Amino acid sequence: MASKHPDAPELSPTVVIGAGLIGASIGCALTGAGVDVRLRDRYRSHAVVAAGIGAGSVGTPLATTVRLVVVAVPPAVVAPTVARALSHYRNAVVTDVASVKQPVLADLEAMGTDLGRYVGSHPMAGSEFSGPLTASPRLFADRTWVIADGTGSPEAVRRVEQLIGICGARLVRLAPADHDRAVAEISHVPQIMSSLTAARLADAPPEDLRLAGQGVRDVTRIAGSDPGLWRQIITGNRAEITTQLRAIRDDLDRVIDGLDDVRTVGELIARGRAGAAALPGKHGRRSDKALERVVVEIPDAPGALARLFVDIMGQGVNVEDLSIEHGQDREVGYLSIAVEAEQAQDLRETMDAKGWSLRE
């Protein structure tokens, strides 16, 4: 990363406002590519921490020389921060990374801001962590980064494309309204559904939760996310979310009224199955290979998984996916290995011959 990216001069200096996980990760990616990055944060200590992990420096650049400003502040304060950046850095392109695009644009228009130098964008990345200490220059590698179509002049858009290219992300162009509908569908509404499901568990007798298996854990995993961030994201996209939640409420009412009728329930399950199957598979396309799972018991001890993988390596199979399950009482785990269906039987036989105990 020490050598300079060809686009680095055109982006230097870049100011990153907001040194949280996203801002600091962008800073690290740009700095690694040779861009001169200046970090700003409401709390200067955050900017100092981010600088300490290689996200840039804390010094203030000459405002008129700044080429790009990345606004990575909490959703609720994005629009005013963008407006101030546009007026302070008079020659810079300003982009934001907020997860909802129409309200920011509407707020900026209401303020009478000249939007030729503003490009709305949204990197679809994050993690269960937050804050600059967990930042990584590779946070956006192979992730989708949306540019809101119709924002910014062609030259301004070009500069944000350079940013996205340096971060290693996959560019998708979407009209702001289409973006906001899409993120409601695939992110905000699933988040609310996960929270609604998990909220019932908070009221359940604790002894009932002993029966919990993997299914409920999957459904409620994202319910563990940061409440402060999510309530801003959700209220920011409330128009789209309201429409979709009303449709879900209609479906829910139909199910509640139709629980006596296997057809109503069967219809919902079948629609859900179709929806789950419509999600693109890995590498962004629908899965075109039939996969099968081989489940092997592994001792819950250092090195056991490694020995298992050494045996799999002897096979030369391509592991498509894997997951670990744990038993509840004994110190035992199961490794579920997904391989192409035609390789599964061979793998089972090899594992069996090597003395591994198979479950399925």
Q: Interface with its own copies includes 232 (CB under 8 A)?
A: yes
User: Quick check: 99 and 187 in contact, CB under 8 A?
Assistant: yes
SS3 call for 333: strand
Bond preceding residue 13 cis, omega within 30 of 0: yes
Q: Which of these segments, 55-63, 87-95, 156-164, 277-285, binds its own copies (CB under 8 A)?
A: 277-285
The interface with its own copies within residues 143-182 (CB under 8 A) comprises 143-144, 146, 170, 172, 178, 181-182
Task: Show contacts of 351-360: CB within 8 Å, 24+ apart.
Answer: 351/294, 351/296, 351/311, 351/312, 354/311, 356/296, 356/297, 356/298, 356/308, 356/311, 357/296, 357/297, 358/294, 358/295, 358/296, 358/297, 359/295, 359/296, 359/297, 359/334, 360/293, 360/294, 360/295
- Of 59-67, 82-90, 100-108, 138-146: span binding its own copies (CB under 8 A): 138-146
Residues in region 239-268 near its own copies by CB under 8 A? 241-242, 244-249, 251-253, 255-256, 259-263, 265-266, 268
Q: Taking the complex as a whole, how short is the minimal distance between the CB of residue 43 and its own copies, in angstroms?
A: 21
Q: What are the CA-CA distances from residue 68 to residues 44, 75, 141 (Å)? A: 20, 20, 20
Interface pattern 64-93 for its own copies (x via CB under 8 A): ------------------------------
From 40-48, 59-67, 158-166, 225-233, give the range in contact with its own copies by CB under 8 A. 225-233
1 lines the binding site for its own copies (CB under 8 A) = no
Of 2, 43, 112, 328, the one binding its own copies (CB under 8 A) is 328
Choose between 109 and 218: whose C-beta lies nearer to its own copies.
218
Q: How far is the CB of 233 from its own copies (least distance, A)?
A: 9
- Tell me the C-alpha distance between 86 and 114, whole Å: 8
Of residues 192 through 221, those in contact with its own copies by CB under 8 A are: 192-213, 215-221
Q: How many CA atoms lie less than 13 Å away from 343 in the CB half-sphere?
A: 15
Which residue shows structure tokens 């861009």? 35
* CA-wise closest residue to 155 among 109, 128, 101, 118: 118
Site for its own copies in 281-320 (CB under 8 A): 282-284, 293, 297, 300-303, 305-310, 312-313, 316-319
Among 273, 342, 349, 352, binds its own copies (CB under 8 A): 273
Considering only residues 64, 324, 341, 345, which one is a binding residue for its own copies as defined by CB under 8 A?
A: 324
**Shortest spacing between CB 311 and its own copies, in angstroms:** 8
Nearest-angstrom CA–CA distance, 80 and 74? 11
Nearest distance, CB of residue 147 and its own copies, angstroms = 13
Residue 107, interface with its own copies (CB under 8 A)? no
